[in-house]
């Protein structure tokens, strides 16, 4: 019987449900009794149908769009797919969903997943850039827009947020994350989940979030993607797990496994991670999906002899859905028959998946995400483009600005734009750019060309060199152009595929001959700003030494050029602050602001003393610290005030500071608060971010910024692995970044 002949009936009781010919009817999701409906459905599913729900298949594409090959069509018709990824557009999703609804016995709807990492069709700045805005409202709103666009094209499941804490910029996937700080990443992860899922899962613009990659994928040895992760449980719990937990607490409905092992156990077979921690300790009740072919990879990891064993390990560990390896589909039935896995484990995995489908309302309306009108009207809207433009400006970080090189003076009449990233539409997208299209992107050249209509200057462009090639054949043309200009903009950095998955680098300096080009242009003595396009912190010591001004624009997405041009001409004032430390050289990596003091710290009074924890050929200090970022105006910090100097376990303490805008522009400052627990039962970091506030201050005015701390802000994992606070003295720093500001102290009795 085809599901389309009689799609839905209301089941009155379990006895009726089980009886006779009505076994292929599914209860609609009314009265929020989802689990009872799942349990009823499980009772009538065959083993093969259950296993089919655990299978996540990739769609195939050609240059003109999606193609539905016969193999996928047959697998869906046979009930051997619970979800599809890399499929979007209303027409395509409708056709695939019809196969599941009308051609299978039970008509269980498919989920449709996609990597909506920083936008769908409207592409926003890469997540690392977004984090530099320190603005949870902007981040949440960007993912709300992404959810609206993706769901308008049939997608209902996003493989995001990626919230892996990383302290190693050699690792290419830092571009997808929120930087090096645990607490800030936790706030960002929660905001992104809220943006995707909004307030009501049954709305047709709800995009289910998938927290990834569980766990500690951002800490591979040597920054090499997929490499081994080996750390103490204390480090794991203190620094790497909290962002995932914050996403779960924000309501994330799915979690993705990581490729790496932790302490010798690959994530995809790690029962402690997924059953004991994620479900039992944190109370997660959604479903877990692998990353691409991760179950199969248990074989080369060396913990499974063959695919069947790999599938058994994964299911027993609590992994519900198999992305692309087809191991569950091929082997679980036999493993079940042999007693290698239990029906209880299988039923639980299926239940976890079906529950999400009910919560989304797919059993009530499997085509709720297939609305042609939405597809025609809710994508690349004028409102979303304006928001994207503003987000680009908020994400830029001004790294250097000597002699007021920025903003560009209104008296400038000719600008030379030079560099391989000046007019590269594709690179503006950044990596993991979903359904974004290069033709929709505004390059820096295009943004400046549009801006010239307002400020009446002539813009000329020369590529100078390519990103990776060693040829200098285009240098002379670029140099001659720079000589004839009043002002020079150098657009340098990485191309977008130099960061992202499988894009680890041992040399994170400017690729190719870009530094040579910059040296020759800067030597001309013209007012020059370097605009960086990059997916990670770069080692740019030489560039910093020579360039008058440097603006890190990252990869800004669809509205890159317009947002950057707004910054360059002070139509927007830079306020971004770094969320990853920029090293001076790769030998300092891993480098992060919240390192430990060691037993032999560098001596302030004698920094060159040999027998301390330092290098003999370089300083310990980074090029740009965490939290760093300049503005066109100047902010002064003074009048530190504590409402008390001693607190008890039931108290709170308020720390306030006066911040004045003494410059010539209205501006926004991100005021940051850091704490140091001086003595503990275990060693503690030299500082930890415990608060920040993003405040707008008109020129000539001042504001009082206050932070309230309780003992909950002082907790850590003690010598016995209990999460608690300990009495003692705490130093604090309140200022514009992690190294500058006003210092003070208080005592917890």
DSSP labels, 712-728: GGG-EE-TTS-EE---E
Q: Computed over its alpha carbons, how large is the radius of gyration of the chain? A: 27
* Residue located via tokens 């310990």: 620
Q: What angle do CA 187, 192, 197 make, to 5 degrees?
A: 130
Query: Residues of the chain with pLDDT > 90: what percent?
Result: 92
Q: Which of 726, 727, 729, 731 is nearest to 742 (CA)?
A: 731
Length of the chain in terms of residues written: 749
Residue 28 confidence class, pLDDT cut points 50, 70, 90: very low
User: How far, in Å, CA of 386 to CA of 383, rounded?
Assistant: 5
- How do beta strands 60-62 and 65-67 pair? antiparallel
Residue 66 has pLDDT above 70, yes or no: no
Predicted local confidence at residue 59, as pLDDT: 86
User: How far, in Å, CA of 645 to CA of 745, rounded?
Assistant: 7
The DSSP call for residue 8 is B
Cβ partners under 8 Å of residue 175, min gap 6: 126, 127, 128, 430, 431, 432, 499, 500, 535, 536, 555
User: How far, in Å, CA of 447 to CA of 460, rounded?
Assistant: 13
Burial (0-12, 13-18, 19+ Cβ within 10 Å), 516: middle
Instruction: Taking residues 147-175, report their average pLDDT.
Output: 99
Helix and strand counts by DSSP (H, E) for the chain: 23, 28
User: How far, in Å, CA of 424 to CA of 427, rounded?
Assistant: 6
Q: Is 617 a catalytic residue?
A: no
pLDDT in tens, 666-699: 999 999 999 999 999 999 999 999 999 999 999 9
**Lookup: tokens for 294:** 């991760």
Residue 64 has pLDDT above 60, yes or no: no
User: How far, in Å, CA of 136 to CA of 197, rounded?
Assistant: 15
- Phi, psi for 224 (deg, rounded to 5): -90, 120
**Lookup: tokens for 471:** 């040829």
- The DSSP result for 626-670, as a single string, is TT--B-SS-EEEEEEEES-SEE-TT-EEEEEEEEEE-SSS-EEEE
Per the CB < 8 A criterion, the answer to whether 158 and 254 are in contact is no
In order of 12, 17, 362, the CA distances from 31 in angstroms are 13, 18, 15
User: How far, in Å, CA of 282 to CA of 252, rounded?
Assistant: 12
Paired strand residues for 669: 695
Instruction: Taking residues 296-319, report their average pLDDT.
Output: 99
Residue 68 confidence class, pLDDT cut points 50, 70, 90: very low
Q: So what's the architecture of 635-748 in CATH?
A: Sandwich (2.60)
Per the CB < 8 A criterion, the answer to whether 467 and 511 are in contact is yes
pLDDT in tens, 388-447: 999 999 999 999 999 999 999 999 999 999 999 999 999 999 999 989 999 999 999 999
Predicted local confidence at residue 32, as pLDDT: 57
Residue 9 has pLDDT above 50, yes or no: no
Residue 604 confidence class, pLDDT cut points 50, 70, 90: confident
Dihedral over Cα of 367, 372, 376, 377: its sign? negative
Q: Which of 285, 290, 282 is nearest to 320 (CA)?
A: 290
Residue 90 has pLDDT above 70, yes or no: yes
Listed range (5-14, 130-139, 418-427, 712-721) with the worst mean pLDDT: 5-14
Per the CB < 8 A criterion, the answer to whether 702 and 663 are in contact is no
Residue 60 has pLDDT above 80, yes or no: no
Collapsing DSSP to helix, strand or coil, 625 comes out as coil
Percent helix / strand / coil, the chain, rounded to 5: 35, 20, 45
Catalytic residue among 291, 322, 440, 713: 291
Instruction: Taking residues 47-57, report their average pLDDT.
Output: 98
Instruction: Taking residues 29-48, report their average pLDDT.
Output: 85
Residue 749 has pLDDT above 50, yes or no: yes
**Lookup: tokens for 624:** 């740009």
H helices present in 378-524, as ranges? 382-395, 425-428, 444-455, 475-483, 514-522
User: How far, in Å, CA of 141 to CA of 131, rounded?
Assistant: 13
Burial (0-12, 13-18, 19+ Cβ within 10 Å), 339: exposed
Instruction: Taking residues 578-591, report their average pLDDT.
Output: 98
**Lookup: tokens for 65:** 């769009």
User: How far, in Å, CA of 679 to CA of 62, rounded?
Assistant: 60
H helices present in 19-59, as ranges? 34-44, 47-53
**Lookup: tokens for 554:** 């990252």
User: How far, in Å, CA of 442 to CA of 430, rounded?
Assistant: 13
What superfamily would CATH give domain 3-27+35-114+205-368?
A: Glycoside hydrolase, family 3, N-terminal domain (3.20.20.300)
Predicted local confidence at residue 542, as pLDDT: 99
Same topology, domains 3-27+35-114+205-368 and 635-748? Answer is: no
Predicted local confidence at residue 605, as pLDDT: 84
Predicted local confidence at residue 70, as pLDDT: 52
Instruction: Taking residues 51-74, report their average pLDDT.
Output: 72
Residue 82 has pLDDT above 90, yes or no: yes
Residue 17 has pLDDT above 60, yes or no: no
* Residue located via tokens 């971010």: 689
Q: Where are the domains of the chain?
A: 3-27+35-114+205-368, 375-588, 635-748
Predicted local confidence at residue 606, as pLDDT: 87
Collapsing DSSP to helix, strand or coil, 743 comes out as strand
User: How far, in Å, CA of 193 to CA of 290, rounded?
Assistant: 19
Per the CB < 8 A criterion, the answer to whether 627 and 577 are in contact is yes
Calculate the CA 297 to chain-centre distance. Answer: 24
Mean pLDDT of the chain: 94
pLDDT in tens, 342-367: 999 999 999 999 999 999 999 999 99
CATH number belonging to domain 375-588: 3.40.50.1700
């Amino acid at each position: 019987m085809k599901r389309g002949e009689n799609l839905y009936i209301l089941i009155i009781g379990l006895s009726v449900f089980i009886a006779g010919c009505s076994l292929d009817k599914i209860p609609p999701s009314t009265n929020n009794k989802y689990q009872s409906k799942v349990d009823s459905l499980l009772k009538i599913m065959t083993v093969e149908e259950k296993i089919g729900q655990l299978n996540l298949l990739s769609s195939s594409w050609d240059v003109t769009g999606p193609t539905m090959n016969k193999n996928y069509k047959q697998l869906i018709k046979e009930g051997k797919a619970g979800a599809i990824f890399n499929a979007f557009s209303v027409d395509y999703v409708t056709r695939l969903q019809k196969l599941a609804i009308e051609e299978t016995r039970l008509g269980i709807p498919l989920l449709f997943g996609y990597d909506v990492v920083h936008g769908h069709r409207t592409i926003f700045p890469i997540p690392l850039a977004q984090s530099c805005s320190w603005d949870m409202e902007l981040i949440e709103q960007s993912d709300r827009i992404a959810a609206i666009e993706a769901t308008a094209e049939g997608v209902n499941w996003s493989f995001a947020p990626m919230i892996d804490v990383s302290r190693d910029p050699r690792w290419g996937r830092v571009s997808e994350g929120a930087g090096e700080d645990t607490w800030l990443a936790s706030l960002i992860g929660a905001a992104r989940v809220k943006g995707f899922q909004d307030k009501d899962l049954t709305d047709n613009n709800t995009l289910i979030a998938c927290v990834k990659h569980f766990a500690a994928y951002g800490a591979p040895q040597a920054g090499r993607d997929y490499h081994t992760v080996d750390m103490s449980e204390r480090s794991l719990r203190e620094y790497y797990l909290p962002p995932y937990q914050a996403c779960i607490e924000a309501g994330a409905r799915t979690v993705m496994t990581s490729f790496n092992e932790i302490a010798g156990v690959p994530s995809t077979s790690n029962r402690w991670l997924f059953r004991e921690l994620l479900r039992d300790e944190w109370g997660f009740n959604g479903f877990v999906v692998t990353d691409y072919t991760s179950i199969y990879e248990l074989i080369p990891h060396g913990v499974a002899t063959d695919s069947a064993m790999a599938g058994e390990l994964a299911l027993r560990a609590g992994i519900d859905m198999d992305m692309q390896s087809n191991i569950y589909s091929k082997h679980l039935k036999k493993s079940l028959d042999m007693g290698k896995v239990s029906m209880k484990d299988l039923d639980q995995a299926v239940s976890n998946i079906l529950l999400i489908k009910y919560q989304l309302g797919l059993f009530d309306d499997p085509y709720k995400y297939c609305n042609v009108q939405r597809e025609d009207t809710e994508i690349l809207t004028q409102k979303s483009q304006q928001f994207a433009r503003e987000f680009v400006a908020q994400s830029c970080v001004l790294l250097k600005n000597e002699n007021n090189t920025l903003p560009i003076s209104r008296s400038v009449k000719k600008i030379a734009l030079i560099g391989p990233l000046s007019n590269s539409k594709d690179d503006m997208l950044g990596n993991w750019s979903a359904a974004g299209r290069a033709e929709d992107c505004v390059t820096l050249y295009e943004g400046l060309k549009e801006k010239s209509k307002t400020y009446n200057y002539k813009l000329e462009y020369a590529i100078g060199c390519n990103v990776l090639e060693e040829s200098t054949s285009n240098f002379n043309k670029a140099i001659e152009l720079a000589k004839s200009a009043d002002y020079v903009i150098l657009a340098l950095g990485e191309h977008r595929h130099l960061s992202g998955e499988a894009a680890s680098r041992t040399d994170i300096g400017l690729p190719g001959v870009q530094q040579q080009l910059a040296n020759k242009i800067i030597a001309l003595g013209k007012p020059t700003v370097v605009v960086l396009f990059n997916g990670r912190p770069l080692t740019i010591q030489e560039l910093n030494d020579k360039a008058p001004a440097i603006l890190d624009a990252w990869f800004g997405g669809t509205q890159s050029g317009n947002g950057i041009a707004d910054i360059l001409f002070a139509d927007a004032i830079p306020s971004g602050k770094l969320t990853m430390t920029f090293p001076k050289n790769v030998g300092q990596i891993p480098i992060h602001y919240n390192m430990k003091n060691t037993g032999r710290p560098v001596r302030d009074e004698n920094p060159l003393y040999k027998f301390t924890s330092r290098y003999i050929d370089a300083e310990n200090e980074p090029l740009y610290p965490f939290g760093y970022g300049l503005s066109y105006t100047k902010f002064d910090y003074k009048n530190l005030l504590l409402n008390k100097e001693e607190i008890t376990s039931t108290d709170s303490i308020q720390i306030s500071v006066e911040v004045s805008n003494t410059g010539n522009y209205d501006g926004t400052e991100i005021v940051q608060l850091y704490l140091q627990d001086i003595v503990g039962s275990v060693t503690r970091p030299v500082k930890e971010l415990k608060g920040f506030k993003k405040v707008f201050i008109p020129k000539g005015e001042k504001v009082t910024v206050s932070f309230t701390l309780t003992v909950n802000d002082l907790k850590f994992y003690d010598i016995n692995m209990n999460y608690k606070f300990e009495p003692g003295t705490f130093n604090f720093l309140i200022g514009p970044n992690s190294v500058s500001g006003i210092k003070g102290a208080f005592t917890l009795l």
